Structure 1
Amino acid sequence: MAEVLYSDIKFKRARGNTDASSRRSGVTWERVALLVLSVLLAAALTALGVTHETCPRCEDGWEPHGGKCYFFSSVTLTWNKSRNQCISMRGDLVVINNREEQRFLESRVMEKKEAYEYKFWIGLTDSKKEGEWLWVDDAQLDPSLTFWREGQPDNRAWATSDGQWNPDGEDCVVMGEKDGATDLKSWDDRYCKYSQKYICEKPEKA
């Protein structure tokens, strides 16, 4: 009888030790699995962050600034052809919304000007109604936010190639001053069929 009881006690102790060992082993594996998952998650988040930071905000040839992408042409076109070119690139001629944007554009135009050809078309015109200046998005020009050169706009008539005066006057707007603008005032109305460089804009990639 004593032997049976002793054996039972030994068996129960042994089984108890096994259960405890299994529990300890289970806890260890859970910790290892949790650690591995944490490392994988951290690596994935890091990879996503790097991808987001290195993903270009603008296409090649476009410059990012203030949530928009800007394209400064190297060729000259009429105002309408310039606008069509911008639209073909999923943008439009630039609409200037504040002084900071005007300052950025003026500085870039100064860097990109060549000889006398230093002016660029922007998306402002009064071709629909003389004196009513509209942006290409149909927004009216804010009188408190204009950057006309002194004496502009003047709607001066242009002489055509055959020496005749053009009665259409100047209905489209360029920006840029050869020697730099005073107080950012560099807008000038021009004959829309004159060839100038141009500035396109569109939103940055999401």
Structure 2
Amino acid sequence: PILVRHNLRLTNFLFVLSFFISVFDNKRTKEDLRRLKMKFEVGNQSLSVLFCNLFKDGPCPKCEAGWEHHGGKCYNFTTNKSSWEESRCFCQSQGGDLRRLKDVMNEAEDKFWIGLTDSEEEGRWLWVDGSPLKFWNYKEPDNWTGKDPNGEDCVRMGEKVGAPDLKCWFDKSCKVPHKSICEKPEKTDATKS
């Protein structure tokens, strides 16, 4: 009877352990698949550009597939949610960076990371290109520590609560996953490759 109980406990322990290992492996596998998907998308865009440069008569598109052209720039609105740092790394892997906004936005409502942070020095807000911030929404930044004891060092755009026509940006914890907006210069005939 004692040996049977020990075997039962050991079996239960091994079952629980194997369950947690499979959950961990599944999470890691999803992350690996997400990274592979990003690499595939980058490679696919590179092949599209190469094909255009080699075989197309006339000008190539100013932006790769999946990017929107506006005002001399190309924009990619990601649907995957990730941290500010992961979002920035993704944008840089695409040849761009997180979007820099120069004035009040008139974008459709959603919550996207933009290229603004004070992670290097608290209270000194800089765009990813190193230029300083010109304005904030009322009562922002607030560096709220309710969800992250380190405060809020990154910025997302969105809609002001109670004012759906007012688009603004807010400081948020860099760890919170959000969509992001990547920005890069348009391609010209001289920069087809």
- Given residue 73 of structure 2, which amino acid in structure 1 is its aligned partner? K
Q: Within 2, Cα distance between the matches of 1:51 and 1:87?
A: 29
Secondary structure of the residue that 1:180 maps to in structure 2?
strand
Aligned to 2:164: 180
Aligned residues of 1:158 and 1:191 also touching (Cα < 8 A): no
Cα distance, 1:86 vs. partner? 0.3
- 1:44-94 Cα offsets, whole Å, 9 max, x none, are xxxxxx823xx3110011100000000101110000000000001010000
Aligned: 1:191 with 2:183: no
Q: Which runs of 5+ in 1 are unaligned?
A: 1-49, 111-117, 160-165
Specify every segment of 5 or more residues in structure 2 that has no aligned partner in the other structure, as ranges.
1-56, 189-193
Q: Which runs of 4+ in 1 moved over 3 A?
A: none
Between 90-99 and 186-195, report the one with greater CA deviation: 90-99
| In 1: Cα distance, 2:177 partner to 2:85 partner | 10
Task: Name 1:119's counterpart in structure 2.
Answer: 111
Change (3 A) 1:95 1:152: same
What's the CA shift for 1:175? 0.2
Mapping 1:1-206, distance limit 5 Å: 51-52=58-59, 55-99=60-104, 102-103=105-106, 106-107=107-108, 110=109, 118-142=110-134, 146=135, 148-159=136-147, 166-177=148-159, 180-182=164-166, 184=167, 186-206=168-188
Amino acid at match of 2:82: L
1:115-158 Cα distance to aligned partner (Å, 9 max, x none): xxx3100000011111110011111112xxx3x33321110003
Match of 1:19 in 2: none
AA aligned to 2:143 is N
Letter in 2 for 1:134: L
Compute the TM-score of the two structures, normalised by the length of structure 1: 0.59
TM-score relative to the length of structure 2: 0.62
* Aligned mates of 2:182, 2:67 — CA distance in 1: 9
8 Å Cα contact 1:76-1:195 kept in structure 2: yes
**Deviation string, structure 1 residues 165-195 (Cα, Å, up to 9, x no partner):** x33100100001176342x4x1010000010
Tell me how far apart the structure 2 counterparts of residues 200 and 65 of structure 1 sit (CA, whole Å): 13
3-state SS of paired residue (2:95) = coil
Give the distance between the partners of 2:75 and 2:154, measured in 1 at CA. 19
Name the SS of the counterpart of 1:170 in structure 2.
coil
In the alignment of these two chains, the number of paired residues is: 130
Q: Percent of counterpart pairs with the same letter? A: 50
SS in 2 for 1:75: coil
CA-based RMSD: 1.8
Residues in 2 aligned to 1:73 and 1:124: alpha-carbon distance in whole angstroms: 17
Instruction: Answer with 1 or 2: which has the greater Rg.
Output: 1
